[in-house]
Amino acid sequence: MKTKVLREIERKFIVKPDLIGELKTGYKIEQGYIVNTPEKQVRVRIIGDRAELTIKGKRESAARLETNMDLDVVRARFLLNNFCEGSLIIKTRYMIPYKGYTWYVDVFNGDNLGLILAEVELRNEDEYFTKPSWIGKEVTNDERYYNHNLSSNPYKNWRDKV
């Protein structure tokens, strides 16, 4: 079993769908939360033909501790179907290189249909990077846009209030 521990630093943004153009070569992600508290999340995720269990610590600004463990897809599907609370997050992820960074663009489906977010992972919190023209408002500190909150309070419940 492969396990890795890291300190995740990422910034999250709304995508301007009219500027991003056609997205190609994405892969489906299904995820759910076994534990979903402000202090920690335990997430099960199926990513194409592989799966993982992820434990994340409390967010401090744009950073938090995270560890990932590989799972087989059958076990992950069992966990998603029997132990996860809230709505499953269903999205297609696209990876777009731009000026030395990889942008992860998530196009949501299901209860979060209509939401498109982009994340960029950084080495430190104050790191400078250039944003593509299709990047809109930053939502790094808006907890409504965190996947674990989209599971318990999906975008369909509040999109008209944004």
Find the CATH number of the domain harbouring 63. Answer: 2.40.320.10
The token duo for 147 is 């996947």
Taking the C-alpha atoms of residue 71 and residue 75, their distance in angstroms, rounded to an integer, is 7
What are the strands, taking DSSP E only, across 48-124?
50-56, 63-71, 85-98, 101-108, 116-121
> How many folded domains does the chain comprise?
1
Whole-number pLDDT of residue 98: 96
The residue that leads in pLDDT, 142 or 2, is: 142
User: Does residue 4 surpass a pLDDT of 70?
Assistant: no
Q: Virtual CA dihedral for 24, 73, 56, 154, nearest 10 degrees?
A: 60
16 pLDDT tier (thresholds 50, 70, 90): very high
Q: In this predicted model, what pLDDT tens digit does every residue of 48-61 receive, in sequence order? A: 999 999 998 887 76
| Local structure of 19: helix, strand or coil | helix
Active-site choice (33, 145, 146, 155): 33
CB 16 within 8 A of CB 131: no
109 pLDDT tier (thresholds 50, 70, 90): very high
Task: Give the domain extent around 152.
Answer: 3-161
Q: In this predicted model, what pLDDT tens digit does every residue of 63-96 receive, in sequence order? A: 778 899 999 999 999 999 999 999 999 999 999 9
Task: Spell out the alpha helix ranges (H) of the chain.
Answer: 17-20, 73-82, 147-152
Whole-number pLDDT of residue 7: 64
Whole-number pLDDT of residue 125: 82
Q: Catalytic annotation on 128?
A: no
Average pLDDT over all residues of the chain: 91
